[in-house]
Structure 1
């Protein structure tokens, strides 16, 4: 363990960092992926033809807000040693908005969209900030392993929260309750889980950059307001990082479409019930944890770019299986292939950004990572939502178009040189 970690880093600190992945996965698993998204379409919006588009638009609004603020938030964290403070703020925001979903029922479309947009904004901002701790914790040759530990532990957290929600839903159904009752209560369970499970992060994770107070608020605001443009202009100094951001944007568009719409696809195209979806994603989180952990070790040997290419080939395989599925059993196979690819592709991407990020600007560069991720979270689900709307609900066509994002990602990987990108980071 001591060889894998950076100098002065203790194992408990890495565990505390990974606990944030464990905690925040509760939100993506139950709200974005397995429970509330399908509930929004079927119950809140009463299965309207525009419901899927409304859901993807909500995620798009949050993603645009993150895109506009990610570089500035990262720059502020770097300049003022404020990663933990900002992480605490984003955690409180996401937990509070998630808890607010308890009051969402049939017809509360605007309230649901507002709360989910707020929660997703704070979730995504916090995800960027916590990722910036990775290069401080792991040795340079072991970034993949440590990133994989975090992602795999995160999926176990998603399973734990989903298991609690599933137990609640089964019990509620046994009492004769409807979805209007048990789904809002599951949102409270999710909020409490996130709050409690993230506590070790704030108790044990160190802020290694000395805190620097703001001395000139006007100058600080001006710098942060222009940070996105400044960072974009400087991208030419880091060509491999810039190319990877475009690559990441492309293939993550497909990944985010799969995450956000899998439950809806299973429900509308395959005939899954809400309970079927929960069971499916409980198992898929397990395969995702295995994928993140195993590929974390593989990528430190094989290389980050090659590992990402391997996972994108897996995403294409998943798309082909899902498109050809005419039974629940076949869709289960596709979903578990997606799980293996999901954990590995996300862990590998985070590790590669850590390789390309200059030490004094890590939070800022992970802000760029977040910007690309959130733009992908707009492009992928919106492509899927618009396709289903324009095609009169053809979810298979939407999935086929989603698969093109993985093809584009593979093509864009060509020309990315890890050694050159790392050399630029050391010079930056």
Structure 2
């Protein structure tokens, strides 16, 4: 059990560094650089590009939702956890590096979308095995702090890789001068993201993990799926765990919708320019990372569930302030305050499941954890879009996010508080 796990600071630092590594992919590829490059320069026009990009990302999310629990069951049954992590990491890194060959106005749009989809699936599956390592490496009294520190490092890694890409490769007057007629300066940033992930993941991937995995052997697919089915059936008898996963599904959907629509809201309601929206997004990520790290010790002292409750209450208050803001300055203040509590809600969710999961089911349950973050990813954006359309107001539409946070909070309060032992 995690409660008897001795502290392994060296291994835990390697574990946290993996968060620093994998954040390069969502930041550079999925959000800022490749997404814009594909819609503006690869696709025939931005409308077609946006439609194809949304479809590809949605399908990748569906694949992750379906494969996450299955991959976790295979790892729990077959052992070789580090090998699974290595394979999933490679499944992200290699297709990401291959994006270098995606030229502007490409004749075949399926290949780049397929590469991004495979890489996204690899990254999400890697997170299943990576997250499940936390209770194996950290004692119960330190799970919260390491989860928070890792999440904070993740925000830092994504931003640092993005800034290196922008100032080192993409901008006019970049440190490294590359041809622009074939977008080499932009395409090089995709290789940078792949190299960043591989380099900073290497310390964990080459580490000797404590304890012994079951021999990797062959894939026991039928036995693994049978175990997964028993776990799913057993969730009905594990009411607290089931309620937590559903609650997380609701408030995580709200967080994802916030990041998806925050820039749209800022531009539409306050007429912020693209540069201002980008600066706001960077600021939001900075405060989220700082918040995750700052709340790490609180997680271990008050428990993960109580930390999430505090974060959700603060998100409701700061989110309401952002929606009621009448000036750009007040919106910035409320938005950056909101960011402080985004990271703790995410990091404490990981540590709560790490404390709740039986050792023999960790990978399976973190697979379900991934599923709970993907299963209703469409819900928040759909509700915000409908509410905005019918009300004619972006403020009313964005208020849906508050409703999802409130619903998640109400359900989370029915989950018994965890009580970490041996505070240090």
Question: TM-score of the superposition, structure 1-length normalised?
Answer: 0.84
**Between Structure 1 and Structure 2, which shows a larger proportion of helix residues?**
1
Going from structure 1 to structure 2, the CA distance change for 1:229 and 1:164 (only over 3 Å counts) comes to same
Going from structure 1 to structure 2, the CA distance change for 1:99 and 1:402 (only over 3 Å counts) comes to farther
1:426 alignment partner in structure 2 = none
250-259 or 324-333: bigger deviation:
324-333
Are 2:215 and 1:212 aligned?
yes
Are 2:253 and 1:259 aligned?
no
Going from structure 1 to structure 2, the CA distance change for 1:274 and 1:172 (only over 3 Å counts) comes to farther
Going from structure 1 to structure 2, the CA distance change for 1:213 and 1:44 (only over 3 Å counts) comes to closer
Q: What is the SS of the residue equivalent to 1:339? A: helix
Structure-2 separation of matches of 1:334 and 1:30: 26
User: Would you say the 8 A contact 2:303–2:418 is kept in 1?
Assistant: no
Structure-2 separation of matches of 1:384 and 1:94: 31
2:237 alignment partner in structure 1 = 237
Going from structure 1 to structure 2, the CA distance change for 1:87 and 1:244 (only over 3 Å counts) comes to same
1:189 alignment partner in structure 2 = 192
Deviations 1:290-334 (A, max 9, x none): 111111111222222221122112332343344345655444334
1:417 alignment partner in structure 2 = 416
2:13 alignment partner in structure 1 = 15
72-81 or 334-343: bigger deviation:
334-343
Structure-1 separation of matches of 2:88 and 2:103: 22
Structure-1 separation of matches of 2:264 and 2:165: 18
Structure-1 separation of matches of 2:319 and 2:39: 23
1:295 alignment partner in structure 2 = 295
Going from structure 1 to structure 2, the CA distance change for 1:40 and 1:253 (only over 3 Å counts) comes to farther
Q: What is the SS of the residue equivalent to 1:67? A: helix
Q: What is the SS of the residue equivalent to 2:280? A: helix
Report the RMSD for the aligned CA atoms in angstroms. 3.3
1:169 alignment partner in structure 2 = 170
185-194 or 269-278: bigger deviation:
269-278
2:405 alignment partner in structure 1 = 406
Q: List runs of 5+ in structure 2 lacking aligned partners.
A: none
1:115 alignment partner in structure 2 = 115
Q: What is the SS of the residue equivalent to 1:377? A: coil
Structure-1 separation of matches of 2:258 and 2:315: 10
2:360 alignment partner in structure 1 = 360
User: Would you say the 8 A contact 1:33–1:262 is kept in 2?
Assistant: no
Query: What is the Cα deviation at residue 164 of structure 1?
Result: 0.3
2:203 alignment partner in structure 1 = 200
User: Would you say the 8 A contact 2:4–2:139 is kept in 1?
Assistant: yes
Q: What is the SS of the residue equivalent to 2:377? A: helix
Structure-1 separation of matches of 2:223 and 2:174: 54
Are 2:339 and 1:336 aligned?
no
User: Would you say the 8 A contact 1:163–1:282 is kept in 2?
Assistant: no
1:96 alignment partner in structure 2 = 94
7-16 or 239-248: bigger deviation:
7-16
Are 2:82 and 1:84 aligned?
yes
- Between the two proteins, the alignment pairs up a number of residues equal to 413
1:315 alignment partner in structure 2 = 315
Structure-1 separation of matches of 2:135 and 2:191: 34
1:152 alignment partner in structure 2 = 152
Query: What is the Cα deviation at residue 344 of structure 1?
Result: 0.6
Are 2:350 and 1:347 aligned?
no
Structure-1 separation of matches of 2:386 and 2:37: 20
Query: What is the Cα deviation at residue 80 of structure 1?
Result: 2.5
Going from structure 1 to structure 2, the CA distance change for 1:118 and 1:385 (only over 3 Å counts) comes to farther
Structure-2 separation of matches of 1:172 and 1:396: 39
Q: What is the SS of the residue equivalent to 2:212? A: coil
Deviations 1:142-196 (A, max 9, x none): 2111111111121211121022022133335898959966443322221221111
Deviations 1:340-395 (A, max 9, x none): 1221111100010011101121111111111111224343345556777x679975
Query: What is the Cα deviation at residue 96 of structure 1?
Result: 2.3
Q: List runs of 5+ in structure 1 lacking aligned partners.
A: 423-428
User: Would you say the 8 A contact 1:253–1:377 is kept in 2?
Assistant: yes
Question: TM-score of the superposition, structure 2-length normalised?
Answer: 0.85
